[in-house]
C-alpha cells in the first residue's frame, strides 16, 4: 500500500520555467496564454494546435514535475503541480495570463486560478479531468487499498521506456488504438517531445510510467473550485471521450458562468483536431474579451 506523499516543499527552480512556445509580439495582440499539458504528453506534443491559436501575443508552456523530478511517489495530490506552476508564474510574470489546459492540465488550471486569481484572466479547459463526487470518492479509496489494480495504472507501469530509434517509437505508437485518430505529424510531435535520444542512437521515454501511474492514482475533486471561480471559464469536451461523460457535461453546463461545447473527437481532441480546437479557443477568448 502506498502512503500519500505530503507536500513536497521543493519550489520550482531552474528545472521548471516558462518556455515561450509561440511569440507574436510584433502584432497588436495583448493577450498571453499559459498552456498546461496532460499526463504523459509534454508541451511539444501540442505544437500543431497551439500554433494555430489567433489573437494572442505569446503562448507559454511549462513542464510538470514528472518531466524534471526523477523520484515518483506512489500518490501525490495534483495541488502540488498547481503550486509548482504558481511559483514559476509569480517569479516570471507580472501580468495576468489566460490558462489553457488539457486533461490533467485543465484540472491544474482550475486549481491555479483559485489560488491566484490576480494572475489569471480566464480559464479554458480541453476535456479536463473532472469526475463525479461519487466516482472520485470510490477512486480515492480504491487507489489507497489497491494502488496497482486499475488497468490504466497497470498499462502505465508496463509501457516500454526504451526504443531502438525514434522511428521504432513512432511505429509502436502508430499501432495503438489510443493514437489511431491522430495524424502522422501530430504523432511525430508526441514522439519527439516525449522521448530523448541517447548516445547509441536509441531513445528513452522522458515521462516515466511510475510518474504516469502516480498521476492516475491522485485525481482531485474540483466541483467546489469550479463553483467558486470568478473568471471566464470555457470547457470543450470530446463526444467520444472516456473522461467527460454526458452526466459530467450536464453538470458543467448547469453553471451559469461556464460555457460548454462538444467536439466530435475523443479525449485527445487537441491532437486529433488541432485546427478546430485552436479555432474554438480563439473564439472563446475573443468572446470573453468582448464581454
Determine, yes or no, domain membership for 49.
yes
Take residue 122 and report the three cell numbers written for it. 480566464
What's the average model confidence in pLDDT over 147-159? 89
Helix segments in 116-203, DSSP class H = 133-145, 151-158, 166-174, 184-194
User: Cα(226)–Cα(12) distance, rounded to whole angstroms?
Assistant: 26
Helix, strand, coil proportions of the chain in percent (round to 5)? 45, 15, 40
- Strand-pairing partners, residue 60, are 20, 34
Q: In this predicted model, what pLDDT tens digit does every residue of 53-88 receive, in sequence order?
A: 998 999 999 999 999 998 899 999 999 999 999 999
Whether 224 maps to a domain, the answer reads yes
At residue 180, the 3 state secondary structure works out as coil
With contact defined as beta carbons under 8 Å apart, do 207 and 137 qualify? no
Alpha helices (H) in the chain, listed in sequence order: 47-51, 79-92, 104-115, 133-145, 151-158, 166-174, 184-194, 209-217, 223-228, 246-253, 269-272, 274-290
- Which set of grid coordinates corresponds to residue 237? 469536451
Q: Kindly state the percentage of the chain with pLDDT values over 70.
A: 93
15-35 as b/e, with b when 16 or more CB fall inside 10 Å?
ebebeebbeeeeeeeebbbbb
- pLDDT at res. 144: 77
Q: Is 253 helix (H, G, I), strand (E, B) or coil?
A: helix
Whether residue 137 has pLDDT greater than 80: no
- Residue 194 inside a domain? The answer is no
Q: Who contacts 288 (Cβ-Cβ below 8 Å, separation ≥6)?
A: 122, 232, 234
| Assigned domain for 200 exists | no
Domain that holds residue 122: 19-148+219-290
pLDDT value at 10 more than 90? no
Asked if residue 190 belongs to a domain, the reply is no
Q: Is the pLDDT of residue 279 over 80?
A: yes
256 pLDDT more than 70: yes
Mean pLDDT across the chain: 91
Q: Is 201 contained in some domain?
A: no
Between CA 11 and CA 87 the distance in angstroms is 7
pLDDT confidence of residue 174:
98
∠ CA 38-108-80, nearest 5°, is: 105
CATH number at residue 142: 3.40.50.1820
Q: Are 263 and 239 in contact (CB under 8 A)?
A: yes
Give pLDDT, residue 9.
Answer: 36
Tell me what pLDDT residue 14 has. Answer: 57
CA distance 76 to 3: 9
**How, if at all, do strands 203-205 and 195-197 pair?**
antiparallel
| Within a domain: 39 | yes
Please give the torsion angle defined by the CA atoms of residues 278, 282, 287 and 289, in that order, rounded to the nearest 10 degrees: 140
Residue 261 has pLDDT above 80, yes or no: yes
Tell me the pLDDT tens digit for each residue of 184-237: 999 999 999 999 999 999 999 999 999 999 999 998 999 999 999 999 999 999
Nearest to 106 by CA among 7, 237, 277: 237
Degrees to nearest 5, angle at CA 67 with 18 and 229: 55
pTM: 0.92
φ and ψ at residue 258, rounded to 5 degrees: -110, 130
Domains: count for the chain: 1
In a domain, 3, yes or no: no
Q: What is the pLDDT of residue 152?
A: 86
Amino acid at each position: 500500500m502506498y502512503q500519500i506523499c505530503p507536500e513536497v516543499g521543493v519550489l520550482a527552480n531552474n528545472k521548471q520555467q516558462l518556455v515561450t512556445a509561440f511569440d507574436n509580439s510584433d502584432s497588436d495582440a495583448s493577450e498571453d496564454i499559459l498552456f498546461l499539458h496532460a499526463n504523459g504528453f509534454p508541451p511539444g506534443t501540442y505544437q500543431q494546435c497551439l500554433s494555430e491559436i489567433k489573437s494572442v501575443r505569446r503562448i507559454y508552456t511549462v513542464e510538470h514535475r514528472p518531466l524534471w523530478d526523477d523520484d515518483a511517489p506512489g500518490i501525490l495530490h495534483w495541488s502540488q503541480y498547481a503550486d509548482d506552476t504558481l511559483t514559476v508564474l509569480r517569479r516570471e510574470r507580472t501580468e495576468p495570463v489566460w490558462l489553457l489546459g488539457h486533461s490533467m492540465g485543465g484540472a491544474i488550471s482550475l486549481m491555479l486560478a483559485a489560488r491566484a486569481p490576480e494572475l489569471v484572466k480566464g480559464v479554458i479547459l480541453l476535456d479536463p479531468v473532472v469526475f463525479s463526487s461519487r466516482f472520485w470518492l470510490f477512486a480515492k479509496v480504491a487507489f489507497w487499498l489497491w494502488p496497482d489494480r486499475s488497468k490504466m495504472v497497470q498499462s502505465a507501469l508496463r509501457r516500454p521506456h526504451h526504443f531502438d530509434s525514434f522511428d521504432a517509437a513512432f511505429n509502436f505508437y502508430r499501432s495503438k488504438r489510443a493514437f489511431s485518430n491522430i495524424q502522422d505529424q501530430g504523432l511525430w510531435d508526441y514522439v519527439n517531445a516525449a522521448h530523448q535520444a541517447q548516445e547509441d542512437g536509441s531513445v528513452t521515454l522522458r515521462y516515466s510510467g511510475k510518474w504516469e501511474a502516480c498521476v492516475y492514482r491522485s485525481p482531485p475533486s474540483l466541483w467546489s473550485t469550479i463553483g467558486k471561480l470568478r473568471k471566464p471559464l470555457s470547457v470543450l469536451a470530446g463526444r467520444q471521450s472516456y473522461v467527460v461523460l454526458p452526466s459530467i457535461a450536464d453538470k458543467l453546463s448547469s453553471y451559469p458562468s461556464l460555457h460548454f461545447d462538444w467536439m466530435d473527437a475523443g479525449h485527445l481532441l487537441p491532437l486529433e483536431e488541432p485546427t478546430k480546437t485552436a479555432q474554438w479557443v480563439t473564439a472563446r477568448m475573443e468572446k470573453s474579451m468582448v464581454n
